[in-house]
Amino acid sequence: MNDRNSQRAFSQRQLRVGELVKQNLGELFLRNEAKIPNINSKLVTVTEVRMTPDLKTARVYVIPLGGVETKETVKILTEYAHLVRKALSKRLDIKFLPKLTFVEDNSFEYAEKIEKIIRNNKNYEKEKKRYN
């Protein structure tokens, strides 16, 4: 999780290409253009795409609908990344088509965990005030 939230700044070019790849992957999954076996790609959400500085590798953060079987979904997407990349090549007109690395997105779980801690802290403060 630390490498994802590092303070390193991304260039405008990395951000722009990452957003372009994210949008096209989202549409590609929604229309099931990659024809990935054993998975319903309509249920996969691309939450973020991070590009390397040379724009040759893209780290694609995905989460299946409801957050169930995330590891299995990432495993299948990684196994069939060549099909996704082939379908993506028909949509993008860029100098280098990035190599896709799929990663499970844990940011929603992390946010939920923080919210729970904050809620518990607020409840603790209320109890503390009641007894003082």
Summarize the confidence of residues 67-75 as an average pLDDT: 85
What is the fold, at CATH topology level, of the domain defined by 12-106?
Answer: GMP Synthetase; Chain A, domain 3 (3.30.300)
Q: Residue 17 — very low, low, confident or very high, per pLDDT cuts 50/70/90?
A: very high
Q: Residue 1 — very low, low, confident or very high, per pLDDT cuts 50/70/90?
A: very low
Q: Contact 41/27 with Cβ under 8 angstroms?
A: no
The token pair at 43 is 């249920």
**What integer best gives the mean pLDDT of the chain?**
85
Instruction: Tell me how far apart the alpha carbons of residues 58 and 102 are, in angstroms, rounded to a whole number.
Output: 8
pLDDT digits (tens, 9 = 90+) for 76-131: 999 999 999 999 999 888 888 999 999 998 877 778 888 888 888 877 777 777 77
Q: Contact 76/63 with Cβ under 8 angstroms?
A: no
pTM equals: 0.76
E strand residue ranges, the chain: 44-51, 57-64, 99-104
Of the chain, the percentage scoring pLDDT greater than 90 comes to 38
